[in-house]
Structure 1
Amino acid sequence: MTEITNFRGEATPQSQATRVEAEVAALIQRVGERVRRARERRGIPRRVLSDISGVSPRYLAQLEAGEGNISIGLLQRVASALDHRIEWLIGEEDPWNSEALRVADMFRSSSSDVQQAILRQLNPEPAETLRARRICLLGLRGAGKSTLGALAGQALNIPFVELNGEIEEQAGMPVDEVMALYGQEGYRKLEAQAISRIIATHDSMVLAVAGGIVAEPETYNLLLGHFHTIWLKTSPDEHMSRVRAQGDERPMSGNPEAMEQLRSILTSRETLYARAQAQLDTSGRSVETSLAQLLALIEDRKFLG
């Protein structure tokens, strides 16, 4: 672009404004392309990214096409849902040519043993010391986190805590109201604060967390570093039937694609959930059987020392 200058060779206000507009357009185009590439690399359909991030499919389509002038708050939601840092989407340097991102991708896709070996090198304090006797149950709603967590806490004579309960106590309102008032970003901040408070006040416990926490990189890494994590998993059909058995018809109400969306969410999060130290499949098993297997797993892995 040829720059217009005055007789002293200085850029005129008009030429400066034109340059700024071009830079803004280039930024929007760059962000859209990187969001699309990040989504495709994760194998997440746009409608699933919409569900996770709380950003409408129409807005995401405009964003990926380089036509959406997205706010910083909404872009942060999209970045969190993609397990990305927001600066990876807006920086001038291509993140896929970044050594740090390449290493992060290699770490995420490596086995649990390799990840633990790397963490031991990066963190001189033994992981077992950091995790103490704290156990965290991960997984989507309906996997059995609350039921098995409460029963395991009783059997092991250690406290059982649901993270959403801690968030509600901290905020002084139900989680639904927190989301309505502060949005996804505000909820995630309270979530991270609640975990830090729990780590500071509990050396031995069973914690159940919301299924989407794995999409928040810093918070999830905090969990992985300070808790013995167990992924409770089951089939999509059982996830849905258990939620409905609890009297919650919202997943299916007016949404014929609810089951397909649930399958997509499970698929998109499998790699993240697999970072947990252990897994327990509760499909087709009674509560009593699953509890016995959970207690045996905790004992075999010496999560309580």
Structure 2
Amino acid sequence: MAEITNFRGEARAEQSETDRVVDDLIARVGERVRAARDRKGIPRRVLSEKSGVSPRYLAQLEAGEGNISIGLLQKVAHALDHKIEWLVGEDDPWTSDALRIADLYRSATAQVQEAVLATLSPEPTAQRRANRVCLVGLRGAGKSTLGRRAGMKLGIPFVELNREIEEQAGMPVDEVMAFYGQEGYRRLEAQALSRVIATHDTMILAVAGGIVAEPETYNRLLNHFHTIWVKATPAEHMARVREQGDERPMAGNPEAMDQLKSILTSREALYDKALAQLDTSGKTEDESLAELTGLIRERGFV
């Protein structure tokens, strides 16, 4: 009987310790979410809109009272532009040297990142990037059209990363988003990028405009490609998308232009990490193509 009593006592003590560890984790996550939001100056309402998690649930989370699921926490982490392990790990993300250095690296310019990699890695930059060129920028800038024509003119393969994702998933991107959500799409995007890097030393790649929202994937792209930001005015972005027969940007949404400008503003610093820029505003397709191929040759990208 004494052994049974001791066993029950030890079990209760173990359960109590487990509960304490869980409570500490919930409190730690809430504190870090609140701190990350404050550091970025993001109101809780905005974080709610970006993550899809209700303001009430976020308030409970930040107060250490919300037992949030892994899926929802990943959405919150993504909206804060942080990795989920930064929110749950035992190391303090604000004082840990490794995490602080990683944060600084992610927010640095492409030139600074290149210098850091040159110091830490013996692999030359030219060898990492080989003859790969990647066109980044918002939809409607002309990445696919110009990339395809430039590939033909230069005699090198042209690849659209979304087509690689569709081939991998066995379904169109719209269905990928519907089935797997944004997180699933981002995972497939990262896998497709790794596959492209492994199989092509010479190519022109066009990527979706939102790839910059995933820091790890975007940094990998910046480090393994000669990147060119293909840009245009918001009005031309919108007009070109509509010319392609896509009415989604404007259909039933009178604030579409304001939203487009907001997206462009929020991503400008990220697109600016590209090694070069090509402004297609007010230019014909042939003029932009001539500038693009000239830029690639002059900079020795291929």
Both structures adopt the same fold (TM-score exceeding 0.5): yes
Q: CA 1:217–1:109 in structure 2 vs 1: closer, same or farther (change >3 Å)?
A: closer
Secondary structure at the aligned position of 1:158 is classed as coil
| 2:271 paired residue number | 273
- Alignment of structure 1 residues 156-171 onto 2, 5 Å: 156-171=154-169
Structure 2 stretches lacking a partner, 5+ long: none
Q: CA 1:22–1:286 in structure 2 vs 1: closer, same or farther (change >3 Å)?
A: farther
| 1:100 paired residue number | 98
Look up the equivalent residue of 1:284 and give its one-letter code: G
Separation in 2 of the partners of 1:49 and 1:255?
Answer: 22
- Alignment of structure 1 residues 192-271 onto 2, 5 Å: 192-271=190-269
Separation in 1 of the partners of 2:73 and 2:93?
Answer: 16
| Structure 2 residue 189 is matched with structure 1 residue 177 | no
CA contact (8 A) 1:80 1:217 kept: no
Output one character per residue of 1:151-178: Cα deviation in whole Å (capped at 9) or x when no partner.
1111111111111111111111111111
Match of 2:142 among 141, 144, 155: 144
Q: CA 1:287–1:224 in structure 2 vs 1: closer, same or farther (change >3 Å)?
A: same
Secondary structure at the aligned position of 2:111 is classed as helix
Structure 1 stretches lacking a partner, 5+ long: 1-5
Q: CA 1:49–1:149 in structure 2 vs 1: closer, same or farther (change >3 Å)?
A: farther
Secondary structure at the aligned position of 2:194 is classed as helix
Q: Quick one: percent identity of the two aligned structures?
A: 66
Separation in 2 of the partners of 1:178 and 1:130?
Answer: 30
- Alignment of structure 1 residues 40-55 onto 2, 5 Å: 41-42=39-40, 53=51, 55=52
Q: CA 1:241–1:156 in structure 2 vs 1: closer, same or farther (change >3 Å)?
A: same
| 1:13 paired residue number | 12
Separation in 1 of the partners of 2:273 and 2:43?
Answer: 22
Q: CA 1:24–1:221 in structure 2 vs 1: closer, same or farther (change >3 Å)?
A: same
- CA-based RMSD: 3.0
Look up the equivalent residue of 1:192 and give its one-letter code: A
Look up the equivalent residue of 2:182 and give its one-letter code: Q
| 1:83 paired residue number | 81
Output one character per residue of 1:26-69: Cα deviation in whole Å (capped at 9) or x when no partner.
5444434433443454466767756765x245477446644543
Output one character per residue of 1:227-258: Cα deviation in whole Å (capped at 9) or x when no partner.
11112223333322322222222223333433
Separation in 1 of the partners of 2:257 and 2:57?
Answer: 22
Deviation at 1:15, TM superposition (A): 9.9
| 1:3 paired residue number | none
Secondary structure at the aligned position of 1:205 is classed as strand
**Could you tell which deviates more after superposition, 169-178 or 262-271?**
262-271
Q: CA 1:90–1:257 in structure 2 vs 1: closer, same or farther (change >3 Å)?
A: farther
Secondary structure at the aligned position of 2:94 is classed as helix
